[in-house]
Structure 1
Amino acid sequence: MRVSGYAGIVAAALAVLCGCTVQPPDGGDGKGHSPVRVEVPQGTPGGRTAPDGTAPASTPSAVETVPPHIVYTRGDTGTGVRELQARLRQVAWLHDGPTGTYDDLTTEAVEGFQGRRGLPRTGETDAVTWRRLVGMTHRPGKWELYLMGGQPAAAPDARCLTGRVLCISKTSRTLRWMIDGRTVSTMSVRFGTQYTPTREGVFHVYWKSRHHYSTLYHSPMPYAMFFSGGQAVHYSYDFAARGYAGGSHGCVNVRDEAAIADLFAQVRGGDKVVVSW
């Protein structure tokens, strides 16, 4: 007993002289207590520390209490919001748009999606909500992103670069109003269905009718600018309400009434119309 006690005293003295501390062999506190093991829940980055510098005690099933990162919220605009809206449409929580603006309808759709999946009904798209939505949907294509229009116009057809031209692209579903190669305005358009397709080619405006009404289809065609038989560029109430869910009987539909009213005032009889892919 004396030898072991003496050896302990010598070891302690040597440790002090070397600037070291003696570590208990079991990793405890030297008093027979085992070390405290703290579980950090999976998915908690880096094992966050509390304000006093200690690790938070939790279980693997504990819910992270740090506020989630907000991806999109009311008032945001842009292509990211458009993708969010397109994905919400895929799971039938949104029937409008996509418009590219995080409006009241989008907020309500996000709240509904969150509530159905047991998430906090904030109406804001946080990181958790976004990951859940992405996991349930596919990446939307161009047509899904621009169901209500707003897509960038295609490069103008070479036949549109001279004179006064209504330059219409089926690829981007847009109409450019051009004068001597300069784009004056651009608007989204809709075309005929497969049974009543919009004709392609080079035409000219031969008749303008501000308050036109189709006796054949029994529907209004305001701001009509006829270019090929009964086909015309005109405002469509149906296009404004349903977007690309419907189609025309061959006409080029415009959904922005203010834009086509301004266009109608500028276009003259004889102006060229180019409809191309």
Structure 2
Amino acid sequence: MTSAASKTFVRRLGVLLGAAGLAAPLTVAMGATAQAATSACTAGTGPYQAKAERFLGRTVDGKQSAADCRAIRDFQLDHGISPAIGYAGPVTWAVMDLVSQQRAAGDNPNAAGRCPVNKGRIACVDLTRQLTWIQDGKRLKSGPVPIRSGRDGYETRTGLKKIYWRSIDHWSTLYEVRMPYSQFFDGGQAFHSIDGSVWSAPGSHGCVNMRRADARSYWSLLKNGDDVYVYGRKPGT
């Protein structure tokens, strides 16, 4: 692409983004130009600005600053939120609120007693907090760790299940995607790792998506016949 063509391409994309109401710098992969563009953070004050500031441990004044914008954008990048422009909108706040609940679970995720404690080794999946852990009776054996369950219309089914098939390097012929460390517990629904963020919207097609290290840990701890209990309801479904 020539320099003139590149400028024209950038200008046209900028018009499109502006029409969409995205107050953010345009980044195009053009070496030093792209690096300079990503260093700027110019998103304005969002409706959840004060809450985002409090969550991030920043001064809470409800007014966007350059430092606030960068901190919010860094959170968005870390959690797979798009567009990552530093704007404290409803999607960003929903993820922050969810992360707060996940952190609050600490080392006692079953404090409310929702997951059975009379089954021995069991993998618990809390759709409301998007968390999973493994317990043995009342003893926590692994986790809790964040997950991404089924999106609206493809919800992860609730109830007591059992792992019935494991495939360490599974390939989905339905969605044509790799599903490493798959452990199936209900029809086509399984624990498995993903390459992207477990916090990114809108969710899976019913599987319990996990970070690679977490899925690998589950693979080493669980076996065919182990119980899985899924409960709650994912926000937005």
Q: So what's the TM-score if we normalise by structure 1?
A: 0.49
Q: Counterpart of 2:197 in structure 1: which amino acid? A: F
Work out the percentage of aligned pairs sharing the same amino acid: 28
1:148/1:222 Cα in 2 relative to 1: closer, same or farther (>3 Å)? farther
1:215/1:81 Cα in 2 relative to 1: closer, same or farther (>3 Å)? same
Q: How does 1:41-60 map to 2 (within 5 A)?
A: none
1:253 to 195, 209, 232: 209
How many residue pairs get aligned? The number is: 161
Q: How does 1:24-173 map to 2 (within 5 A)?
A: 82=56, 84=58, 88=68, 93-94=73-74, 95-97=76-78, 143-146=95-98, 150-153=102-105, 154-155=109-110, 157-162=113-118, 163-173=120-130
Higher relative contact order (CA 8 A, sep 6+): 2
1:188 to 143, 146, 152: 146
**Residue 176 (structure 1) aligns with:** 133
Q: Which has the larger radius of gyration?
A: 1
Deviation at 1:141, TM superposition (A): 5.1
1:204 is the counterpart of 2:162: yes
1:148/1:232 Cα in 2 relative to 1: closer, same or farther (>3 Å)? farther
Q: Counterpart of 1:258 in structure 2: which amino acid? A: A
The question of whether the paired residues in 2 share the 8 Å contact of 1:202 and 1:275 is answered with: yes
1:230/1:249 Cα in 2 relative to 1: closer, same or farther (>3 Å)? same
Secondary structure in 1 aligned to 2:175? coil
Deviation at 1:212, TM superposition (A): 0.5
Distance 1:190 1:203 in 2: 18
Deviation at 1:200, TM superposition (A): 0.4
The question of whether the paired residues in 2 share the 8 Å contact of 1:151 and 1:172 is answered with: no
1:93/1:175 Cα in 2 relative to 1: closer, same or farther (>3 Å)? closer
The question of whether the paired residues in 2 share the 8 Å contact of 1:205 and 1:268 is answered with: yes
**Residue 232 (structure 1) aligns with:** 190
1:269 is the counterpart of 2:224: yes
Gaps of 5+ in 2: 1-52, 59-63, 233-237
Q: Counterpart of 2:216 in structure 1: which amino acid? A: A
Secondary structure in 2 aligned to 1:248? coil
Secondary structure in 2 aligned to 1:225? strand
Distance 2:149 2:70 in 1: 24
Distance 2:114 2:129 in 1: 16
Distance 1:219 1:246 in 2: 17
The question of whether the paired residues in 2 share the 8 Å contact of 1:224 and 1:233 is answered with: yes
Distance 2:141 2:96 in 1: 27
Secondary structure in 1 aligned to 2:77? coil
The question of whether the paired residues in 2 share the 8 Å contact of 1:148 and 1:244 is answered with: no
Secondary structure in 1 aligned to 2:156? coil
The question of whether the paired residues in 1 share the 8 Å contact of 2:79 and 2:200 is answered with: no
Any idea what the Cα deviations from partners look like across 1:161-186, whole Å, max 9, x if unmatched? 12110111012110011112211111
Runs of 4+ in 1 over 6 A off after TM superposition: 89-92
1:195/1:261 Cα in 2 relative to 1: closer, same or farther (>3 Å)? same
The question of whether the paired residues in 2 share the 8 Å contact of 1:83 and 1:145 is answered with: no
Deviation at 1:147, TM superposition (A): 5.7
Q: So what's the TM-score if we normalise by structure 2?
A: 0.57
Distance 1:194 1:235 in 2: 20
Distance 1:244 1:148 in 2: 16
Deviation at 1:190, TM superposition (A): 0.8
Any idea what the Cα deviations from partners look like across 1:19-38, whole Å, max 9, x if unmatched? xxxxxxxxxxxxxxxxxxxx
Distance 1:97 1:146 in 2: 14
1:220 is the counterpart of 2:178: yes
